Amino acid sequence: MKIDVLTLFPDMFSAVMSESMMWKAREHGLLEFEVHDIRDHAGNKQRKVDDSPYGGGGGMILKADVLTRAIEAVRQHDETPVILMSPQGRVLTHRVAAELSQCERLILVCGHYEGVDERARQLAINDEISIGDYVLTGGELAALVLIDAVVRLIPGVLGAEGAQHRDSHADGLLEGPHYTRPSEFRGLRVPAVLTSGHHAEVDRWRRRQALKRTWERRPDLLEKAVLSEEDRAYLSQLKDEAGD
């Protein structure tokens, strides 16, 4: 996959994209990553990229001509998703990340100031994504969140051992608890089933823990999750035990 980012703050990407899994993905040729400074397309000596909004109201708006030029300089094919990071976009979920992980190329546009001129949106942007219902000072951190969530789903990035299929949200549920050595820590023991060597029992325990955690913390997710008869019976049991 190739990801191009358009930003006014290129340095914000260097640390994150040069560490850990994102770096490994680049090292292994699974990800090509390039940052472009929108200011290089200002087209004036002062490198001015924004202006005050028509109709007043304060704040500054990223200019349509500058942003459109910057995007057109990077985009080679019309079908490439050009995604504006914005609190007005569709919300990033596991499903959206999985959809984007299938793309060969993504162009991410980081807005700043009060917003971008609507005509740049109309002419050069074809998707808009938010990372949650809150407002950041700019799209850079949101773009980094999206990149991480998408790139870890590219086959090979987490290695053969990657357990993405068991991630929280991958099957609509939260993940249950994990343990590693030692088997006892400050009087707390690892659940016996995990050291039993009985794989079917381990799977059943993990499924039940995932259901329990989701029911306790995010019951809204259970409405959309795909549940078996056994899952439903277990949830009824939990509810009975809680006196619901």
**Residues annotated catalytic, as ranges:** 87, 114, 152, 167
Q: Which two tokens stand for residue 9?
A: 């703050």
- Which residue from 139, 210, 215, 234 is in contact with ligand ADE, where contact means CB under 6 A? 139
Residue type, 119: R
- Which residue from 100, 142, 144, 147 is in contact with ligand ADE, where contact means CB under 6 A? 142
Contact (CB, 8 A) for 40 and 48 = no
Contact (CB, 8 A) for 174 and 214 = yes
> Burial, 229: exposed, middle or buried (Cβ in 10 Å; 0-12, 13-18, 19+)?
exposed
Residue type, 186: R
Residue 136 beta carbon to ligand ADE: minimum distance, rounded to whole angstroms: 4
Stretch that binds ligand ADE, among 64-72, 80-88, 180-188, 230-238 (CB under 6 A): 80-88
Q: Which residue is nearest to ligand ADE (CB)?
A: 142
Task: Please report, as residue ranges, which positions from 164 to 193 form the binding site for ligand ADE (by CB under 6 A).
Answer: none
Question: How crowded is residue 23: how many other Cβ atoms within 10 Å of its Cβ?
Answer: 14
Which residue lies nearer to ligand ADE by CB, 87 or 210? 87
Build a one-symbol-per-residue string for 99-138: x at contacts with ligand ADE by CB under 6 A, - elsewhere. Answer: -------------------------------xxx-xxx--
Which residue lies nearer to ligand ADE by CB, 85 or 151? 85
**182 cis-preceded (ω within 30 degrees of 0):** yes
Residue 146 beta carbon to ligand ADE: minimum distance, rounded to whole angstroms: 8
Residue 97 as a binder of ligand ADE (CB under 6 A): the answer is no
Contact (CB, 8 A) for 5 and 108 = yes
Chain residues that interact with ligand ADE, rule: CB under 6 A: 85-87, 130-132, 134-136, 139, 142
